Structure 1
Amino acid sequence: MSPHSLDMSYFAMAQDVAKIVDELDLQDVCLVGHSMGGKVAMCAALLEPERFSRLMVVDSSPAYTSKANKIMPYLQLMMNVDFVQAKRESDGTLLGIRQWLFDTWKKDIPDETMRRFLLTNLEQREGECEWRVNLRAIAACWHHIVGFPDNELQGLTFSNPTIFVAGGRSDYVTLSDFPKIHRYFPQARLLTVEGAGHWVHVDDPHSVLHLITAFVKGSSEKPLLNGVVDLTDKGLALIGT
């Protein structure tokens, strides 16, 4: 498990990405990030554009959205888990504890996909359960996480190929975000995967895999599968381009 840090700023996380690229001596790097990871990828590309050849951001944008605030109750629920009780009420195994929490959380999180996703963060080491992610650091830095460091990134651009992939059923990214996206990423395209929610890669892994593969290979062809819509022209129309 990766070490935890109390600093969850996008600058710190972007620096972590750049450091890994350096330590592994990676070349021709394509960054792909979802949600908060998408914002980290954006910051890394803007701060160190020479290190990255391409950028794909999945259901995230530099524009503010209040929708991210609905994640906070999930964090509180995870932080409030009594693992002693969970172990006692289940068979004590990781799978058993996950299933017990899955059933217990049904009222608070009706969405089964979301419950299953959150519980993938639960691990068991030497018989003791713990969360893989640093929940308290995330909660403490939440006001930074839901935003975007515009003041610090003002005037920076990433001019290499960039794709923003939004979930058609999600409202984390909208067409109205495109002017701000274009300001930071002038080569950006905006695609939507119809039928997918915020967890685009979970709802439609086939389409997302196809998009990533074609993009990483540098395909100039617009990889429009059934259910994938290109909104770039509509976005450009908003800014008169």
Structure 2
Amino acid sequence: MSLHRTELGESGQRVVFCHGLFGQGKNWTQAAKALSADHRVLLLDMPNHGRSPWTQRFDYLELADLVAAELGEEPVALVGHSMGGKIAMCLALRHPHLVERLAVVDVAPVRYESGREFVGYIETMRALDLGSLERRDQADEALREVVPSPTVRSFLLQNLRRTDDGWHWQLNLDLLAEHMDELVGWPGDELGDASYDGPVLWIGGARSDYISDERAVEMDRRFPRNRRVLVKDAGHWVHSEQPEVFLEVLRRFLA
């Protein structure tokens, strides 16, 4: 299986981005362009997302191995948000020789209580009558009641594509809905006592509770050389809510 990729920059350290649930590699384009003068940047579509192939199941260890296969043998700086952050953490724990340093955006190596909000999005997207659509703004209007935020609707609708035979979701919605428990989970038992000794930076949103103090015990156990930065006026989507601050924090870590 080969993942869809976009590469920017011709010299410097390699930086690889792993996007979150419902996302695509292109979500990181702004940061990638800013870094590409001094770094070689790789944007990957995670399996079951964007233009990458679909898998038969959702398993963080399997997904981490698929991403690892895209990296070659040169150690990289790995950046992952939310679901992509868990994939990146698993990759660092399973293939530490491939990761020179790791930046995790607003997620911890723990199981979260519920994915009800995500399930609601998926159910709404699956219920959309794609056969009756003539224009994209009709899909936007159909999602408005369940997804009132125009920013979130726009984010979800970037996964809607039109081909010669009509409209389609690029996401593997059926698999994501079926495996939501695994998606919000964490494969701690399968990872055993694995830890990663390279430098790790957590970038969290001050308005988010994804990397709260009670989750720091597992963060420290798995990644002992870590430090944490909370970005003011940002929630879970730190890199899109405060892009300039996020980029400055990431630049300093990469340096």
User: What's the TM-score, normalizing by structure 1?
Assistant: 0.80
Equivalent position to 2:213, from 175, 180, 187? 175
RMSD: 1.5
Partner residue, 1:235: none
More strand by share: 2
Residue 243 of structure 2 is aligned to residue 205 of structure 1: yes
Indicate the residue corresponding to 1:196 in structure 2: 234
> Percent of pairs identical after alignment?
33
1:55 aligns with 2:98: no
- SS for the counterpart of 1:21 is coil
Deviation at 1:122, TM superposition (A): 1.3
1:15 aligns with 2:65: yes
- Size of the aligned set, in residue pairs, is 205
| Most deviating of 120-129 and 39-48 | 120-129
Looking at secondary structure, tell me which structure has more helix per residue: 1
Shift of 1:169: 1.5
Offset at 1:140?
A: 1.6
For residue 100 of structure 1, the aligned residue among 132, 138, 153 is 138
Alpha-carbon distance between aligned partners in 2 of 1:191 and 1:67, rounded to the nearest angstrom: 25
Q: TM-score, normalised by structure 2?
A: 0.76
Shift of 1:127: 5.2
Correspondences of 1:66-215 after superposition (within 5 Å): 66=113, 68-87=115-134, 96-97=135-136, 99-126=137-164, 128-215=166-253
**Structure number, greater radius of gyration:** 1
Given that residues 165 and 190 in structure 1 are in contact (C-alpha distance below 8 angstroms), is that contact kept between their aligned partners in structure 2?
A: yes
> Does structure 2 conserve the Cα–Cα contact (< 8 Å) formed by 1:67 and 1:171?
no
Q: How far apart in 2 are the matches of 1:66 and 1:109?
A: 21
> For 2:128, what is the secondary structure of its paired residue?
coil
* Structure 1: segments with no counterpart, 5+ residues: 88-95, 218-241
Structure 2: unaligned runs, 5 residues or longer: 1-50
For residues 174-221 of structure 1, the C-alpha deviation after alignment (integer angstroms, 9 at most, x for no partner) is 12211110000001111111111211111111111222222222xxxx
